[in-house]
Structure 1
């Protein structure tokens, strides 16, 4: 294994550098979230990108808020805004500036009787005209309770709220927004939760009046239950936008999941799905990790990670070096599917037998996908060694690995990685943040 890496270049759409500071992943033992925890308090942290010194923090002004950092939104324009929802029904908009963080907007959807107390708020995201789209929901594999209905809608800049209520379904992932359209995937709950159940992919937009318009709704196979090690009852993937044409999710079919590519615009024929392709090995096929996509000018590459039988999230109980670190029990597989630019077909491109349980990141300049993995042979012996790995975009070949450390404190715990400036890769781990930089090949 190499101890050096080639140059890495940040991708503007995913880098979370604000000015000269990193707003990044500082988890402690309580949550798998982009969060700095002081006891049971959740906070944003601005961290120096070179020294990793914490420069400033922000704590919600309302007590006992469980912030959903899994699906917070960062705007990388000159406003440097962070939008984050709390399970308790609040939406906070915080601005990062030279002196710290400033709360510029706070919306309490429980106090407004939009969200009932006890029904968790999960998502919040801006559209292009300043509306804030939101959904209730939760992540079952992280301990959230099952909800037997959904509240989805948007808040105008004036504060006026519009909602759509859906029974017997639950939102278990993030949302995607393009223009004034929100895309959200739901999973079965309540009366809809049974063998061979159905989930739905929705495209929603504004109006008319006080309502929310459903542009289209398409069903998918949600299977019969959560997969071993899984987080979601239905699809485990947040909708991924492929340009302005398509979007991608996976289903949760019992034997073997599939990647489904939908048209973003409503199809007059009623056939919303453009194409689909089965993933991984039958009987060991699942994902609860968001897909990664790239357009090379003629076709899309969509990357899907297998996490069938993944180890659990670490909640701080038990030994930090316990069995939750063992990724060797998890089915391997990182797959790239090629989607034609005209949507005429989806084709399997390659599969690499490696175990990754956190969302990777692609550098279009180096042509490498950067992720976080583990030495499976050592893990079988109870020795947990962690590595940053770089895979070739075209072939899936592993180009290099860099060892970051050993033991539970270096476990990524399902947290995503981020590329920063000057060839820097950041990875959130159980007890902090790992940083590696460019090196010269030996």
Structure 2
């Protein structure tokens, strides 16, 4: 998913500030097959040597953007939780080898991008560091490197590595390395996607479609231009980088000097217009690598076809012809998503955000068709056939997820935050109730729910949670971070 961050006049980041002014569970019948994948889920994607451990290194868990975790969650029993009030929306929470959560937030007042270090024992805010304002959209997709430093782009187009260090009896956050990207990014453009390569370079993509690599040791930056807008992050596995523009999916490699090389381009159906519940016209998904062998055989996105979007799966080695083009979330009259998918083994899980009530839109966003719609939620599971010949819709589910779900390979459960009550009009989220819930990936049925709270204090804004190595989930919300533990 993407949440706009404060930026220049051309950016889409005014949405986040507007979101902060606006303030159940559906477990009914499930359509489709209820049979489980006999091969199970996984494996995890390969561990990127440039990041912290899989599951906790990026917003989507790993550099492949699988939205899985190797760690078991709190399970289906009682939970306890606490809320860290930061007066900020916090889309990214990552956890390093030392167990300390690091979150990148944007303040409600002033729209200042701020890094926070949290206490893993209590969730308390131990230290914070404000960054230059500007276009920190790429900061949403910041990641933790293999030295537990947060890698992000600030408003001055500097690629930063931010470390946390003990200082006397407390902690401090410092910029340990800064590499300028300004010469490669035209005025008015801004970094959107950010992901580590497998050779030490960092890949980035800008809103206006420039894709590049940077060597943070030498400062060398190499780029190419697609001429198409990018509104989501990017994903990497050994030898490959995937970028989705508002017209096509690109698979890239790099020349010896780091210059990006397009291996193939796969155009997709972007639909007749932006849908309600989306922030831009085109795919709402960051590309995700997955596969039953080594976790990299396939790459997938959703398109924006109407009335129902399709899941597109490509074989990395063969593209750009898709393995399948499968309609998803077909239980309602229309579907669309602003979320990345969960992708693991041969299975892909898609979340419906059609009609999600964003109270404002980015500057310059085209009108949606229709102008509004009810937010009904829903999930779908699609499996790639065992022989790789196509895909099968396994189930549609009515689960009304207000967050991007995460699949635990540690306990075989999908974890998310569901919403009930009024959610369909501007400001109605003030009275919505949010529950921490588990979903059975074999059937799509919700197995339980535990109330977190009501209103903006607990609204996850379609952001994903991260489970720490001790099994503690951290869920970013409209106003801070909720820390959840087994009861």
Is the contact between residue 375 and residue 385 of structure 1 (CA under 8 Å) also seen in structure 2?
A: yes
Offset at residue 314 of structure 1 (A): 7.4
- 1:410 corresponds, among 454, 458, 473, to 458
- 2:357 corresponds, among 294, 311, 322, to 311
Is the contact between residue 378 and residue 385 of structure 1 (CA under 8 Å) also seen in structure 2?
A: no
Compared with structure 1, are the counterparts of its residues 25 and 400 closer, same or farther at alpha carbon in structure 2 (3 Å cutoff)? farther
Taking structure 2 as the reference length, the TM-score comes to 0.71
Aligned to 1:222: 270
Aligned to 1:55: 126
**How far apart, CA to CA, are the structure 1 residues paired with 2:133 and 2:434?**
36
Is the contact between residue 265 and residue 320 of structure 2 (CA under 8 Å) also seen in structure 1?
A: no
Compared with structure 1, are the counterparts of its residues 354 and 89 closer, same or farther at alpha carbon in structure 2 (3 Å cutoff)? same
Is the contact between residue 29 and residue 314 of structure 1 (CA under 8 Å) also seen in structure 2?
A: no
- 1:344 corresponds, among 385, 389, 392, to 389
Compared with structure 1, are the counterparts of its residues 236 and 377 closer, same or farther at alpha carbon in structure 2 (3 Å cutoff)? closer
Aligned to 2:159: 91
Compared with structure 1, are the counterparts of its residues 406 and 217 closer, same or farther at alpha carbon in structure 2 (3 Å cutoff)? same
| 1:180-211 alpha-carbon deviations (Å, 9 max, x no partner) | 42210111xxxxxxxxxxx1111112126574
Aligned to 2:192: 122
CA RMSD of aligned residues (A): 2.7
Q: Structure 2 matches for 1:252-291, cutoff 5 A? A: 252-265=304-317, 267=318, 271-281=320-330, 283-291=333-341
Aligned to 1:17: 95
Compared with structure 1, are the counterparts of its residues 434 and 26 closer, same or farther at alpha carbon in structure 2 (3 Å cutoff)? farther
**How far apart, CA to CA, are the structure 2 residues paired with 1:303 and 1:172?**
21
1:163 is aligned to 2:223: yes
1:105 is aligned to 2:183: no
1:233 is aligned to 2:278: no
Alignment partner of 1:69: what SS? helix
Across the two proteins, how many residue pairs are aligned to each other? 377
Offset at residue 313 of structure 1 (A): 5.5
Q: Which structure 2 segments of 5+ residues have no match?
A: 1-23, 26-43, 45-52, 57-93, 362-371
Offset at residue 214 of structure 1 (A): 1.0
Offset at residue 393 of structure 1 (A): 1.7
Compared with structure 1, are the counterparts of its residues 68 and 211 closer, same or farther at alpha carbon in structure 2 (3 Å cutoff)? closer
Alignment partner of 2:279: what SS? coil
Taking structure 1 as the reference length, the TM-score comes to 0.78
Offset at residue 222 of structure 1 (A): 0.7
Compared with structure 1, are the counterparts of its residues 54 and 341 closer, same or farther at alpha carbon in structure 2 (3 Å cutoff)? farther
Is the contact between residue 91 and residue 106 of structure 1 (CA under 8 Å) also seen in structure 2?
A: yes
Task: Decide which moves more: 89-98 or 405-414.
Answer: 89-98
Aligned to 2:86: none
**How far apart, CA to CA, are the structure 2 residues paired with 1:313 and 1:377?**
14
Offset at residue 257 of structure 1 (A): 0.8
Offset at residue 122 of structure 1 (A): 1.1
**How far apart, CA to CA, are the structure 1 residues paired with 2:422 and 2:128?**
40
**How far apart, CA to CA, are the structure 1 residues paired with 2:256 and 2:125?**
46
Compared with structure 1, are the counterparts of its residues 55 and 65 closer, same or farther at alpha carbon in structure 2 (3 Å cutoff)? farther
Task: Decide which moves more: 230-239 or 270-279.
Answer: 270-279
Is the contact between residue 419 and residue 426 of structure 1 (CA under 8 Å) also seen in structure 2?
A: yes
**How far apart, CA to CA, are the structure 2 residues paired with 1:252 and 1:174?**
17
